Amino acid sequence: MNDIIDTGRLMLLLNELRLPAIKHLWPQFTERSDKEGWTAARLLMSLAEHEVAERDRRRIERHLGEAKLLAEKTLDNFDFAAVPMISKAQVSALCAGDGWLEKGANLLLFGPPGGGKSHLASAIGLSLVEKGWRVLFARTSDLVQRLQIARREFGLEAAIQRLDRYHLLILDDLVYVTKDQAETSVLFELISTRYERRSVLITANQPFGEWGKVFQDPAMTLAAVDRLVHHATIFEMNVESYRRRAAMARKKQGPGRTAQYATTKNVGPLTSSDNQTES
């Protein structure tokens, strides 16, 4: 019986089937199979498992690239001890994603500047991407401006629909949106379109009572808040700015000494998780 195969043709077939991992690995796997006496089924299973693993790796790599997350902001270098009102266990549960992203629920982070909101938001986004979810991190004012351009070009609906491919849209620094009718209307349309369909994570320096500075129309403010808090987990990160803490630490350490932390590590035991429907 002739066991010789046309390796060139095999390569072409694997290319046609789009199996790059198997194309790369089959020589060493078949050699090992011959030495160890694997069954054909075991060899096929091993090659298939590596192909699936490689596809998962490439997909996560691609999704990380499009997520635009903040560099080096992870849960490992977030100082939960500095934000005692946030529970690390609850944050870890949120990072699974399946308990809230499937339902289109939201996550809202409130607190003064420098409290670690953006760090925590990006770190949660990173964990979710690594688990297979699609995430987009954007400064709210930048995204709103892009949506305004789309509206002027009669493409707002299509632009918002394209954002649907993201299970979680992280809107950082919401209150820095200019109080302009055009900006606030596209922001409201985005929030309304995703309501109970796709999740939003919002960071904001001001509580809901100050959102009249964002939305010109009081009725629009109430409607936006109502949609966001319905099915939402709310974290209140009312702590002193880490930048101020770092500056004070440097001052105490004296000249020429390195500060204790180079980046923020915040968190805290959890805040209130309110899933309340406002009527």
Give 122's contacts (C-beta < 8 A, 6+ positions apart).
Answer: 69, 70, 73, 137, 170
103, two tokens: 């339902």
Tens place of pLDDT for every residue, the chain, 279 residues? 446 778 889 899 999 999 999 999 999 999 999 999 999 999 999 999 999 999 999 999 999 999 999 999 999 999 999 999 999 999 999 999 988 999 999 999 999 888 899 999 999 999 999 999 999 999 998 999 999 999 999 999 999 999 999 999 999 998 777 666 677 889 999 999 999 999 999 999 888 877 777 777 788 889 999 999 999 999 999 876 665 565 555 666 665 544 343 333 343 433 434 444 343
234, two tokens: 């709310």
- Gyration radius from the chain CA atoms: 24
pTM flag (> 0.75):
yes
Structural fold of domain 68-253: Rossmann fold (3.40.50)
Q: How many angstroms separate the CA atoms of 42 and 38, rounded?
A: 6
DSSP letter for 80, please.
Answer: G
N- to C-terminal Cα separation, the chain: 78
163, two tokens: 């954002």
